[in-house]
């Protein structure tokens, strides 16, 4: 085959081809620069005009958050949102990161949520996914089955037709240990909630017979008891327990602003957050209501407290939006360590097999990625790649 003739210098065709090649080269160089050094190119004061130019490019980035370990510890389920370079979300779906397959990322739902996904929670057997999603007039719970972390093909809406405000606790303990039943709460008025159970096999919905406004319900490790937050009035709530069928309601904590109960792995203690004037306290108490202990007090907001799989440590998120850090504390409060120092980090999740920690980490000014901490005190690494798409893909 004869080579393509070189256009004569100075001809209109020659000028067009030389200019097109130059811009293609510049565009390719730009994409490589975005992939290699996003912080330097996109988010430094020196390059404001350059940033404005980048914002005009027809590209979106996959922002990753709300990580959940798969049951075998070889993958991470997460919420992936298409975000333009100027920070605007273009829709969200659930994705699976394969840690043993070269870090490949693939979608497992095709809902294309416009935003507002608050929580995702994978069942212990890895076959079911619960999604808490904001809608126009409240919130809804969607249960994906038929493959769970593999496909997520079938969907059930847990809200009844008259229920427009249903939520779940920020805890994997919303699932019974056998993955059959999930706990959630729905509003019966603007100020009152009731706890419900949904059986994924019989498809039966059952409200616990508690004549109290209650929420944030979680199963004990043996599945026989439930801990929850019970409202006693404005800014006044107690952590209480009952049997699985809603009998024998018993208060554990005194009246106060108490939230987010979490059972210890052996079921003997319950972790919770207590807010008092000027401070947030992290506390534990025996499952029988005895031996209360205070672990830490901070003026910062404390969220998402979780026991380590062996019950020796507690991980939580402390700070404010835009500056939230991950903190590790021993279960007796004797030792405390900041796992992160600068940036915005959230939604930690323990891996039960080897205690790795996955979390959402701020990677660029508007974007987050899933990071993995191999061991407490060790180094973190970003697990999700920076994925670029043409807008509309």
Q: What tens digit of pLDDT does each residue of 209-236 get?
A: 998 899 999 999 999 999 999 998 888 9
Decide if 45 is inside a domain: yes
170 vs 235, more confident: 170
Model pLDDT, residue 6: 31
Decide if 212 is inside a domain: no
Decide if 48 is inside a domain: yes
- Gyration radius of the chain's alpha carbons: 24
- Cβ atoms of 319 and 304 closer than 8 Å: no
Q: Give the range among 89-103, 275-289, 298-312, 355-369 with minimum mean pLDDT.
A: 355-369
- Cβ atoms of 77 and 65 closer than 8 Å: no
Percent of the chain, pLDDT > 70?
77
- Cβ atoms of 179 and 124 closer than 8 Å: yes
pLDDT interval class at 208 (50, 70, 90):
very high
- Starting at the edge strand found earlier in the chain, the sheet holding 368-373 runs 345-350, 357-362, 368-373, 380-382
Decide if 267 is inside a domain: no
Model pLDDT, residue 108: 86
| Contact residues for 302 (Cβ-Cβ < 8 A; gap 6+) | 273, 280, 282, 316, 317, 318
Full domain range(s) for residue 45? 15-57
* Phi and psi at residue 28, to the nearest 5°: -60, -45
Model pLDDT, residue 369: 85
Q: How many angstroms separate the CA atoms of 317 and 322, rounded?
A: 12
Which run of H or E residues covers position 257? strand 257-263
Q: Which tokens sit at 208?
A: 């616990």
Mean pLDDT value across the chain? 81
Q: How many angstroms separate the CA atoms of 239 and 97, rounded?
A: 36
Considering its fold, how many domains does the chain have in total? 1
Decide if 225 is inside a domain: no
Decide if 49 is inside a domain: yes
Which residues are registered as beta bridge partners of 319?
301, 324
Decide if 318 is inside a domain: no
Model pLDDT, residue 388: 53
Decide if 19 is inside a domain: yes
How far is the CA of 95 from the CAs of 68, 111, 153, 345, in angstroms? 11, 11, 13, 20
pLDDT interval class at 16 (50, 70, 90):
very low
Q: How many angstroms separate the CA atoms of 170 and 63, rounded?
A: 21
Q: Look at residue 93 and tell me whether its pLDDT is greater than 80.
A: yes
379 vs 339, more confident: 339
Residue with tokens 């870090």: 103
Q: How many angstroms separate the CA atoms of 20 and 43, rounded?
A: 28
341 vs 123, more confident: 123
pLDDT, one tens digit per residue, over 135-144 is 877 788 999 9
């Amino acid at each position: 085959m004869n080579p393509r003739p070189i256009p004569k210098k100075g001809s209109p065709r020659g000028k067009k081809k030389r200019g097109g090649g130059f811009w293609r080269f510049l565009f390719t160089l730009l994409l490589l620069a975005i992939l290699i050094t996003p912080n330097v190119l996109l988010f430094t004061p020196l390059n404001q005009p350059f940033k404005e130019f980048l914002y005009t490019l027809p590209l979106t980035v996959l922002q990753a958050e709300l990580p959940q370990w798969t049951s075998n510890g070889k993958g991470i389920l997460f919420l992936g949102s298409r975000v333009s370079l100027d920070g605007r979300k273009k829709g969200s779906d659930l994705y699976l990161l394969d840690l043993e397959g070269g870090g490949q990322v693939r979608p497992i739902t095709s809902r294309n949520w416009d935003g507002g996904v608050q929580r995702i929670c994978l069942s212990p057997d890895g076959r079911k996914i619960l999604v808490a999603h904001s809608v126009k007039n409240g919130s809804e719970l969607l249960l994906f089955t038929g493959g769970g972390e593999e496909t997520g093909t079938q969907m059930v809406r847990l809200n009844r037709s008259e229920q427009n405000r249903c939520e779940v606790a920020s805890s994997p303990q919303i699932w019974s240990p056998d993955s059959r039943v999930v706990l959630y709460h729905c509003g019966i008025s603007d100020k009152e909630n009731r706890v419900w159970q949904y059986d994924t096999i019989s498809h039966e919905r059952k409200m616990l017979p508690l004549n109290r406004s209650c929420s944030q319900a979680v199963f004990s490790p043996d599945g026989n008891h439930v801990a929850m937050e019970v409202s006693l009035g404005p800014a006044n709530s107690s952590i209480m327990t009952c049997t699985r069928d809603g009998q024998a309601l018993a208060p554990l904590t005194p009246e106060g602003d108490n939230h987010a109960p979490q059972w210890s792995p052996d079921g003997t203690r319950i972790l919770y957050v207590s807010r008092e004037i000027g401070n947030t306290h992290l506390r534990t108490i025996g499952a029988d209501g005895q031996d209360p202990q205070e672990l830490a007090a901070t003026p910062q907001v404390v969220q998402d407290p979780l026991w380590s799989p062996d019950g020796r440590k507690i991980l939580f998120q402390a700070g404010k939006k835009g500056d939230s850090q991950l903190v590790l504390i021993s279960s007796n409060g004797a030792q405390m360590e900041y796992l992160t120092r600068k940036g915005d980090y959230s939604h930690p999740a323990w891996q039960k097999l080897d205690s790795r920690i996955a979390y959402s980490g701020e990677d660029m000014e508007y974007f987050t990625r899933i990071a993995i901490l191999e061991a407490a005190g060790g180094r973190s690494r970003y697990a999700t790649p920076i994925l670029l798409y043409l807008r509309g893909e």
